[in-house]
Amino acid sequence: MKKVFSRPKSLKNTAFHYCGGCGHSIAHRLIAESIDELDIQDRIIGVPPAGCAVIAYNYFDIDMLESPHGRGCAVATGIKRVLPDRVVFSYQGDGDLAAIGTAETFHAANRGENITVIFINNAVYGMTGGQMAPTTLLGQVSTTTPPGRSALLDGHPVHFSEILGQLPGTMYVERCAVNTPANVMKAKKAVKKAFQYQMDNVGFSLIEILSQCPTNWKMSPVEACRWVNEVMMKEYPLGIIKDSKR
Amino acid sequence: MIRKTIFAGFGGQGVLMMGYIYAHTVMNEGYHVTYLPSYGVEVRGGTANCTVAVSDEEIASPIASEPDYLVVMNKPSLYTYQNRVAPQGIIFLNSSIIDTRPTRKDLNIHDVPVGDIAGKLGNPRVQNVVMMGSFIKKTGLITPEAFLKGLKQILGEKKKSAMEINRKAFAAGYELEI
Amino acid sequence: MQGNRVIGEAAIRAGCRFYAGYPITPQNELTEYMADNMRRAKGGTFIQAESEIAAINMVLGAAAAGARAMTSSSSPGISLKQEGISSLAADELPAVIVNIMRGGPGLGNILPSQGDYFQATRGGGHGDYRTIVLAPASVQELADLTMDAFDLADRYRNPVLILADGMMGQMMEPVEFSDPSSRQYPECYILKGKGKGKSKFIRGLILDAIRMEEHNWKLYRKYQVITQKEVRFETFWTDDAEILIVAYGTAARIAKGAIKRSREMGIPVGLIRPITLWPFPMEVIRSFAERVENFLVFEMNTGQMVEDVQLALGGIGKVQFYGRPGGVIPTPAELAKVIAYQARKK
């Protein structure tokens, strides 16, 4: 019998700890499939963040170095400069990347570091229990914006991918989602392309993935997927923000 | 034996260079030496100073709270440092632009019109080397040959053509009546 | 050569091939020296980082990837680096961090100070860890200890701090560089892609309490070994001393000058100079207490190392303290007066 579906080689045989309906497990799988297809499992190094994905090294069967909160791009810079022929990526959430790690992310992009950043945007701080993230939508309820995020008091949702798209050092930025099979396929293509760009020495790339967080959004997984479509994408439209090779 | 010197003046007068060449030279001659430049905000503010300590044994502090010698290239430096100089110490004074005298009477004041001499040589940039000529003669710690050798080593890193005018400047300072 | 540049040169000679830093006075010449010279070294990387935090985290990445890595800063910047230093200690990664101390707290000033003793010797960041702390007292020692720092960092897979101050960094003195030893760092700790083998991960996050405890005890045992093996100190004129000064770095230099003056006046005074501030030469100081009663701790702060001296003595002997914080550099004459006063009192 022909095997048509199996666990990617780059994932360990470990069940994900992520909540039901969470986008992280899908994103992990897309990364692992891309690694397999590009045949780089032996020479890729990942940098997981502080956040829900903090123990990503339990799942990926690749070399990984944990980063302090927000510093993924600085840590990845250090690795990549020492080992330029390895493929290096950081995996970061919205709080990690767009709040505490703003400077590190921005300047790694501005230096045009030849690394890949996977940016998981679920509009909340997941691991710490659903506080406001820089990407939380206006009016969205979080544990630290109980009446809903107010522009006046809490500021606006940050469009970090668009900001990075403005930098000459950035080579490829795309926003994807993992809420429908079609979007998952597109996201996979984007992740793989970003790795390929790095292997071709093109430069800095970032893939933002709108990711559902049913637990902290207090929704069922199906509702959460729908919310990504109907609400989140209005604020954060999908598509290529910058592609220097196109 | 320990001898401490403060060199002070405007930024651009080659004050740090004077101390550096001196420190380099006495090091060549086998002395213990420390060179401590002023740094940070002060430098950006337009004044410069450095301290050179020379000794035949290990130097405890590179700071000169009571320098034996003070080389002042401008008036503000004279005001700042004159009261620090050790009793009976020597002040080397750029008499081309400093028109006042220290108020202390115990000091040995040595006027060096570095601006006039350098002007006659046709290069105002060598005022500091004129001063060093006089300083080396008066302090007598090292020979003029040793100083010129040190100077050459340092200039050698930049350009060799500069040596000629510097040699003249040094000689002019060295030959001054003291 | 100037102290700051000497550190840079010694580091490159010791095989440092990754440097990330951020400008701050009075250590800028070191960053500039690395910018000039690191790229000349084969495979060397220099990065002017966007912050001290980024710099130390780049060092974290570089160290994990197998490079001898270094960063440098001055007091306020070292505070920012603590997150990364704590991570390096947790991850058991080697790195050298240089602190050219200046006056504090807060922005303070840019003058030489020893206000960061507590921060340096108590780990500095969060969590249960220590860093080896080397305190040079001359430009020559800056060179020697910088080279040693890389070896120590590798040997114990632990961050090593060089704790000097603005005067050490700015001062020029003659220096000779010794030959570096060849690097002994096991390949198995280097992260470079799993290759054909098993995948590795380096991390400090250990959610399970028992395992975290195990890791803490493991680190503790390592620190115990360091404490037993790596204590360094210098004694000066201690043989017949009735008063012992304890001072390090710039303060120790000044103390030597003061001791010479005091000896001329017939006061029997000597110096214990800790070269490693952590591990601290506890036993050496205690052993002196068997015959010396009077200790005078001299620091360019309001009294930090004095607590370690008191700990070492455990109530035996008399410990006095003289300090000048805030960037004031006392003179040997000033300290000699303090010594004379102590001598009269006793």
* pLDDT tens-digit series, residues A108-165: 999 999 999 999 999 999 999 999 999 999 999 999 999 999 999 999 999 999 999 9
Higher-scoring residue by pLDDT: B163, C157? C157
Task: Indicate which of B24, B28, B63, B154 best probes the interface with C, i.e. most C CBs within 10 Å of its own CB.
Answer: B63
Asked if residue C261 lies in contact with residue C195, where contact means CB atoms within 8 angstroms, the answer is no
Q: How far apart (Å, rounded) are the C-alpha atoms in residues A39 and A44? A: 10
Q: How far apart (Å, rounded) are the C-alpha atoms in residues B132 and A79? A: 51
Kindly state the average pLDDT of the residues C8-26: 97
Distance to chain C for A12, nearest Cα, Å:
10
Bridge partner residues of B108 (DSSP): B90
Is the predicted pLDDT of residue A67 greater than 70, yes or no? yes
Mark A170-204 as b/e (b = at least 16 C-beta within 10 Å): bbbbbbbbbbeeebbebbbebbbbbbbbbbeebbb
Chain A interface includes C81 (CB < 8 A): no
In which band, very low, low, confident or very high, does the pLDDT at C40 lie, cut at 50, 70 and 90?
confident
Could you tell me which of C68, C69, C274 has the C-alpha nearest to residue C163? Answer: C274
The minimal CB distance from C170 to the residues B39, B61, B65 is found for: B39
Helix (H) or strand (E) holding C10: helix C3-13
The minimal CB distance from C61 to the residues A60, A61, A65 is found for: A65
Asked if residue C140 lies in contact with residue C173, where contact means CB atoms within 8 angstroms, the answer is yes
| pLDDT tens profile C217-249 | 999 999 999 999 999 999 999 999 999 999 999
Q: Phi, psi (5° rounding) for residue C291?
A: -130, -10
Query: What is the pLDDT at residue A136?
Result: 98
The string of DSSP letters for C192-223 reads: S--TTS---EE-----SHHHHHHHHHHHHHHH
| pLDDT tens profile C58-91 | 999 999 999 999 999 999 999 999 999 999 999 9
Which CATH class, in words, describes the domain spanning C3-229?
alpha beta
- Strand C243-246 to strand C294-299: parallel, antiparallel, or no bridges (unpaired)? parallel
Chain C interface includes A106 (CB < 8 A): yes
SS (H, E, C) C118-138: HHHHCCCCCCCCCCEEECCCC
Is the predicted pLDDT of residue B42 greater than 60, yes or no? no
Query: What is the pLDDT at residue B45?
Result: 53
Is the predicted pLDDT of residue A197 greater than 90, yes or no? yes
Termini Cα distance of chain A: 41
Say how many domains are in chain B.
1
Query: What is the pLDDT at residue B118?
Result: 95
Other C-beta atoms lying within 10 Å of the C-beta of residue B66: 12
CA–CA distances in Å: residue C312 to residues C281, C282, C284: 8, 5, 9
- The residue written with tokens 């921005």 in the block is A106
Kindly state the average pLDDT of the residues C160-185: 95
Q: How far apart (Å, rounded) are the C-alpha atoms in residues A78 and A56? A: 20
Q: A24-243, what's its fold? A: Rossmann fold (3.40.50)
Furthest C-alpha separation in chain B: 43
Average pLDDT score, chain C: 96
The minimal CB distance from C110 to the residues B27, B34, B41 is found for: B41
Query: What is the pLDDT at residue B33?
Result: 96
List the alpha helices (DSSP H) in B32-143: 41-44, 75-81, 114-121, 127-139
Task: Indicate which of B31, B39, B52 best probes the interface with C, i.e. most C CBs within 10 Å of its own CB.
Answer: B39
Task: Indicate which of A44, A47, A55, A71 best probes the interface with C, i.e. most C CBs within 10 Å of its own CB.
Answer: A71
Contact residues on chain B for C329, CB-CB shorter than 8 A = 61, 63
Contact residues on chain C for B61, CB-CB shorter than 8 A = 253-254, 257, 329, 331-332
In which band, very low, low, confident or very high, does the pLDDT at B158 lie, cut at 50, 70 and 90?
low
Q: Which amino acid is at C44?
A: G
| pLDDT tens profile C322-336 | 999 999 999 999 999
Average pLDDT score, chain A: 96
Query: What is the pLDDT at residue C343?
Result: 93
Three-class secondary structure of residue B35 per DSSP: strand
The minimal CB distance from C256 to the residues B20, B58, B65 is found for: B58
The minimal CB distance from A78 to the residues C62, C193, C195 is found for: C62
Kindly state the average pLDDT of the residues C94-99: 98
- The residue written with tokens 């109980």 in the block is A146
CA–CA distances in Å: residue C29 to residues A208, B174, C68, C72, C103: 40, 34, 20, 11, 18
Helix (H) or strand (E) holding B163: helix B162-174
Asked if residue C191 lies in contact with residue C66, where contact means CB atoms within 8 angstroms, the answer is yes
Q: Which residues in chain C are classed under CATH 3.40.50.920?
A: 233-345
Three-class secondary structure of residue A42 per DSSP: coil
Q: How far apart (Å, rounded) are the C-alpha atoms in residues A161 and C317? A: 65
Kindly state the average pLDDT of the residues A228-233: 98
Query: What is the pLDDT at residue C41?
Result: 86
Query: Is C253 in contact with B61 (Cβ distance < 8 A)?
Result: yes
Contact residues on chain A for C207, CB-CB shorter than 8 A = 55
* CATH number attached to the domain at C233-345: 3.40.50.920
Query: Is A61 in contact with C199 (Cβ distance < 8 A)?
Result: yes
- Strand B47-55 to strand B32-37: parallel, antiparallel, or no bridges (unpaired)? antiparallel
Asked if residue C1 lies in contact with residue C139, where contact means CB atoms within 8 angstroms, the answer is yes
Residues in chain B: 178
Q: How far apart (Å, rounded) are the C-alpha atoms in residues B102 and B79? A: 8
Q: Which amino acid is at A77?
A: T
Domain range enclosing B61:
2-174
Contact yes or no, B with A (3+ CB pairs under 8 Å): no
**What are the domain boundaries of chain A?**
24-243
Query: What is the pLDDT at residue C219?
Result: 98
Spatial CB neighbours of C47, under 8 Å, sequence gap ≥ 6 = A77, A81, A111, C19, C20, C21, C55, C58
CATH number at B63 reads 3.40.920.10
| pLDDT tens profile A210-219 | 999 999 999 9
| pLDDT tens profile C246-299 | 999 999 999 999 999 999 999 999 999 999 999 999 999 999 999 999 999 999
User: Helices C75-91 and C52-64 sit at what angle, rounded to 10 degrees?
Assistant: 30
Chains that contact A by 3+ CB pairs under 8 Å?
A: C
Is the predicted pLDDT of residue B41 greater than 60, yes or no? no
Contact residues on chain C for B33, CB-CB shorter than 8 A = 172-174
Q: Which residues in chain C are classed under CATH 3.40.50.970?
A: 3-229
Kindly state the average pLDDT of the residues A29-58: 96
Contact yes or no, C with B (3+ CB pairs under 8 Å): yes
The minimal CB distance from B60 to the residues C25, C172, C253 is found for: C253
Spatial CB neighbours of C236, under 8 Å, sequence gap ≥ 6 = C256, C259, C270, C271, C273
Query: What is the pLDDT at residue B40?
Result: 60
| Chain C 191-230, residues with CB within 8 Å of chain A CB atoms | 191-196, 199-205, 207
In which band, very low, low, confident or very high, does the pLDDT at B155 lie, cut at 50, 70 and 90?
confident
Complex ipTM: 0.95
Spatial CB neighbours of A4, under 8 Å, sequence gap ≥ 6 = none
Query: What is the pLDDT at residue A161?
Result: 98
Q: Environment class of residue B158 by beta-carbon count within 10 Å: exposed (0-12), middle (13-18) or buried (19+)?
A: exposed
Average pLDDT score, chain B: 91
Residue C302: HSE in the Cβ half-sphere, 13 Å Cα cutoff:
4
Q: Phi, psi (5° rounding) for residue B160?
A: -75, -30
Share of chain C above pLDDT 90, in %: 97
Distance to chain A for C98, nearest Cα, Å:
18
- Strand C243-246 to strand C269-274: parallel, antiparallel, or no bridges (unpaired)? parallel
Query: Is C171 in contact with B36 (Cβ distance < 8 A)?
Result: yes
In which band, very low, low, confident or very high, does the pLDDT at C39 lie, cut at 50, 70 and 90?
confident
Is the predicted pLDDT of residue B157 greater than 70, yes or no? no
